[in-house]
Structure 1
Amino acid sequence: MDVTLDASDRLARLLAFAIPALLLSGALISEHVFGLYPCEMCWWQRYGHIAAIGLAFLGAIAPQPRLWVGLAALAIAVSGLIGVAHVGVEYGWWQGITACSSDDFNSFVLVRCDKAEWTLWGISLAGWNALFSLGGAMAIWALLLVKEKAA
């Protein structure tokens, strides 16, 4: 482990782990406590967070921690971009994948991607994921670019 990380790098590493862990925890609580089951696009967003947690962990134990933290931020951003695509499907801005946004339930898809199951202030769970993921990824990258000034 590189012990020469400055405070901004350490904060970036913490955020690279905490943001996806909190968002994934929120998704799991929404599912298992409140019965908001994920559609296929919801699962795609979760995969980005799972990958980010693993990459952030590598940032704590592997050489070149800033590389791993930067890749974790990329995985978080990908989850956010999938969230943007999902929001577009939910609000009818564009069409989603057919198996996920039709009334044909002969497939294994049980939850439609084009219907927001829950919103807060008009923003769906996919929208909140997009906002927090993209904002978090930008914050992590900004912290990685910051160099502490010598005292």
Structure 2
Amino acid sequence: MQRNTLIGLAAFGSLALLLGAFAFQHLGGLPPCKLCIWQRWPHAVAIPIGLIAVAIRGWLLPLLGMLAALTTGAIGLYHTGVERGLWEGPATCTASGGDGLSNADFFDKIVTAPVIRCDDVAWEMLGLSMASWNALIAFGLAALWWAALRKS
């Protein structure tokens, strides 16, 4: 496969995973936990890297894309371990925010906000959670970035 095809597939894969996560959140009614949000950021970074890397030759951008994919994959593995009770997750896996609110309004928001726990599996398919699927697919995307890097 050509370098730009590999980069396009990798960037499109990140876009598809990110859009899927937003669909689960906004259409499926599954609000994300803190670790879910963390897994989204590297995908959001990989997409513009891919767009730029198609236009600019060199090894740096495919390397950065691969690192983004490996990062979200590692966070996905960590999140899977938290979900399976293999290790502790972040102490604060709850919704946050209070900018511009009075103390009373902020307190009311905290008390009434649902707690999104990182150690609960909200959805799974074939015995794997969304975090597990993200990790597997992200490592596949990292392989595409690696192949593009080797052609650079």
Q: Judge same fold: TM > 0.5, yes or no.
A: yes
Q: How does 1:8-23 map to 2 (within 5 A)?
A: 8-23=2-17
Match of 1:114 in 2: 119
| Counterpart Cα distance in 2 of 1:59 and 1:65 | 8
Unpaired runs of 5+ residues, structure 2, are 95-109
CA contact (8 A) 1:58 1:65 kept: no
Structure 1 pair 56/40, CA: closer, same or farther in 2 (3 Å)?
same
Higher relative contact order (CA 8 A, sep 6+): 2
CA distances 1:87-122 after superposition (whole Å, capped 9, x unpaired)? 000000101011128xxx76x783100001011111
| Counterpart Cα distance in 1 of 2:144 and 2:92 | 35
Match of 2:93 in 1: 100
Q: Which amino acid aligns with 1:136?
A: L
Q: How many residues align?
A: 137
TM, length-normalised to structure 1: 0.81
1:67 paired to 2:72: no
Match of 1:136 in 2: 141
Of 34, 37, 53, which residue of structure 2 is paired with 1:40? 34
Q: Which amino acid aligns with 1:114?
A: D
For 1:100, what is the secondary structure of its paired residue? Answer: coil
CA distances 1:12-60 after superposition (whole Å, capped 9, x unpaired)? 2112311110100110111111111100000000001001112112213
CA contact (8 A) 1:86 1:126 kept: yes
CA distances 1:73-99 after superposition (whole Å, capped 9, x unpaired)? 210110111000000000001010111
Unpaired runs of 5+ residues, structure 1, are 1-6
Task: Calculate percent identity across the aligned residue pairs.
Answer: 36
Structure 1 pair 130/119, CA: closer, same or farther in 2 (3 Å)?
same
Match of 1:82 in 2: 75
Q: Which amino acid aligns with 2:22?
A: L
Q: Which amino acid aligns with 2:138?
A: S
Q: Quote how far apart the aligned CAs of 1:138 are.
A: 1.5
| Counterpart Cα distance in 1 of 2:61 and 2:10 | 9
For 2:2, what is the secondary structure of its paired residue? Answer: helix
TM, length-normalised to structure 2: 0.81
Q: Which amino acid aligns with 2:67?
A: L
